Structure 1
C-alpha cells in the first residue's frame, strides 16, 4: 500500500504528474491538493482503470490535512510558472511563501513522508522545507529531495540527438550534479554512458552544456509567454517518484541525481566536500536510494578540466541560493 500526494495538483505540472502517478501500478492511493479545481481533477482521474484510489481537496475544511494523512510520498509542484524574462530568483518571491505553508502542513500531518520538491527555484525551496522541518522538530535529511531529474532527462535526450540516435535516449545516462538552475546545473558529459562524438569541437561541447543548463529557457520562449516546462517536468517528477517508491519497497541499487542535504550521508558528504574544496549544506549528486531515503551520496569521480570549471562556477551561486532559502524562513514573521 503506497499513498502518493501531489500538492499543486491542478496546475500545469500537477495535472500531467497526477495522471502519470495514477497509472503507476505501485501506487494504491493518490491524494491531490490545490487552491482550485482539485475535486474535478480527481474525479477525472478516478475514471481511469488502475488500482489507485483518487481523492482531491481544496483548502477549506482542513483540505491539506485530509490530503496528507497517511502519505508515504509527497510531491510538490505548487507555485507559479516561469514567464519570459523571469529568472528562478524572480519566482522565489512568489513561490517561497507557498512552499513554506505546504511544508508546515507536511511537518504536522505526514512528518515521515518522503518529500520531493519540484517548485522552483529548487536550490532555495529545498532549504525552505528543511528549515521549516527543523523548527518543528521533524527534519530527516534522508527523506527530503529536490527533483533535478529534468536536467538528467534533457541531458540524455540532447546527447542522443548529438550522436544521431534518438532511439537510444532512454538508455543514455548522464550524471548531472550541482543544483537546478542555470550555471549550477553541471552535466558530467565525460561520464555519459554513450560517449560524445570523437573530436567534438569545443564550441559544440559548450553549446551542448549551455542547452542542458538553460533548456527551460528554450521551452519558455517556444511557449511564447503561455507557460514553462510542464509536460517534461511532470514526466521527470513521476520518474523520480517511481524510483523513490521502488526503493521504499526494498529494491536495491537505485541511483539517481537529486538535490539533497549533505547531512543525509556524512561519509559521502566528506568525500564530496574534499572534491569541491568547499563545504555546502546542499548539493545535487548521485544518490543511492533505499527504504529510508538517502542511502549513500556518491563523489563526482574523475572529471575533465572543463567540468571542473563548471563545478567551480556553480558553487558561489549555490551558496547564494541556499542562503536565500534559509534566510526566508528565519525572517518570516509567521509563527509555525
Structure 2
C-alpha cells in the first residue's frame, strides 16, 4: 500500500517539529513548502539524514514550488508571521491574511482532495479564509486550536493536583484567543471531577477552590502569550505541532477521536456560518460529526462572547481583503 503524503506549508519552527514527528511516527512521506529558497530543502535534508539513526522510512522533500504538494492527503498550514512580545493573535490579521490567501490558492490548485489543518494565527479568521478560497467541503478544512488549548488546561490541572496528565480530561471551546472558554465543570481526572479533587485538597474551602480554578483558566487563556514573552522572539512550536499531529493521526488512522477542533458551524451551538472551536469526531472523512455539549447558562454566555469576538475578527479581515 502506498504511503500517505503530508504537505507542510511553512518551514518555520512549527513546520520543523511537524516534519520530525511525521517522520518518527512514519505517518507518510513529507514535503515542506516555504517561499524562502533553500530553507525547506536544508531542513528536510537534515531530517532525512537522521533516518538511519531514528529508524524511520519516509521520503522527505523541501520545496519552494507549490507543484510539489500535488497528491497530498493532508496539508498542514503554519505559514505566517509568529507573535512577538506584546502582540495579540489578532495583531497578525492583516499580514497573515495576505499570506493565507496565496497559500489557499496553491492548495486549491495542487492538492484539491486534501484535508487541511490550519495552525496560522489568528486561527479562527485564517481557517475561515482558507475554506472560502479553497471551496473545500467543511469536513475537510479545520483549525488546530482546541486540542492545544485543552492540552494546556490539562497540564495546569495535573500540576496543581499532582497527578499524571495522562489521566486528565479537559475541554476548551470557542475562539482561539483571550475569549476562549475552558469548560471547568466537565474537567476531570479519570472521571473524578477536578472540582471534587480541589475541594479535598483545600479542605472544602470553596473560596480557595474557585480562586485556584480561576487562576488555571486565566493561565490557559494566556498560555500562548506566556510562551511568547519567555522566548522573547517567536511563539510556541512544540505543543502546536504535537496537537496538529494528533489530528492527522485521527484522520489517517480513522480513529474516530473526539477532539476540540475549530470547525464550521451551521446551526450547532446557535452559531451559523462561522468557524469556532467545538468537540468533533475526527476520522477518515475528516470532521465526521459535531458533538453538542450541554452548556449551563454561564458557559453559554462565555461561549457566545467568544463567538462574537470571532465574528468581529472575521468582519475585520473582510474589510482588509
**What range is the shorter-chain TM-score in?**
0.7 to 0.9
Written as runs of structure 1 = structure 2, the 5 A alignment for 1:138-287 is: 139-148=136-145, 149-165=147-163, 168-183=164-179, 185-194=180-189, 195-196=193-194, 197-198=198-199, 199=206, 200-223=208-231, 225-247=232-254, 251=255, 253-263=256-266, 269-270=267-268, 272-273=269-270, 278-287=271-280
Distance in 1 (CA, whole Å) between partners of 2:176 and 2:133 is: 21
> For the structure 1 residues 309 and 203, does the alpha-carbon distance in structure 2 shift closer, same or farther, using more than 3 Å as the test?
farther
Written as runs of structure 1 = structure 2, the 5 A alignment for 1:88-167 is: 88-134=89-135, 139-148=136-145, 149-165=147-163
- Partner of residue 31, structure 2: 31
Note if contact 1:6-1:33 (Cα within 8 Å) is conserved in structure 2. yes
- Partner of residue 203, structure 2: none
Q: Return the offset for 1:85.
A: 1.0
Give the TM-score, by structure 1 length: 0.84
Deviation by residue 1:277-308 (Cα, 9 ceiling, x = unmatched) = x545222111112222111101122x445433
Note if contact 1:126-1:325 (Cα within 8 Å) is conserved in structure 2. no
- Partner of residue 266, structure 1: none
> Between Structure 1 and Structure 2, how many residues are aligned?
299
> For the structure 1 residues 280 and 193, does the alpha-carbon distance in structure 2 shift closer, same or farther, using more than 3 Å as the test?
farther
Give the TM-score, by structure 2 length: 0.88
Distance in 2 (CA, whole Å) between partners of 1:231 and 1:100 is: 25
- Partner of residue 51, structure 1: 57
Give the aligned CA root-mean-square deviation in angstroms. 1.7
Deviation by residue 1:153-202 (Cα, 9 ceiling, x = unmatched) = 1011111112122xx2123121111121111x111121123222123532
- Partner of residue 299, structure 1: 292
Distance in 2 (CA, whole Å) between partners of 1:34 and 1:237 is: 18
Question: Structure 1 runs of 4+ off > 3 angstroms?
Answer: 303-306, 324-328
Indicate the SS of the match to 1:4.
strand
Q: Where do 5+ consecutive residues of structure 2 fail to align?
A: 200-205
Q: Return the offset for 1:327.
A: 4.7
Note if contact 1:190-1:304 (Cα within 8 Å) is conserved in structure 2. no
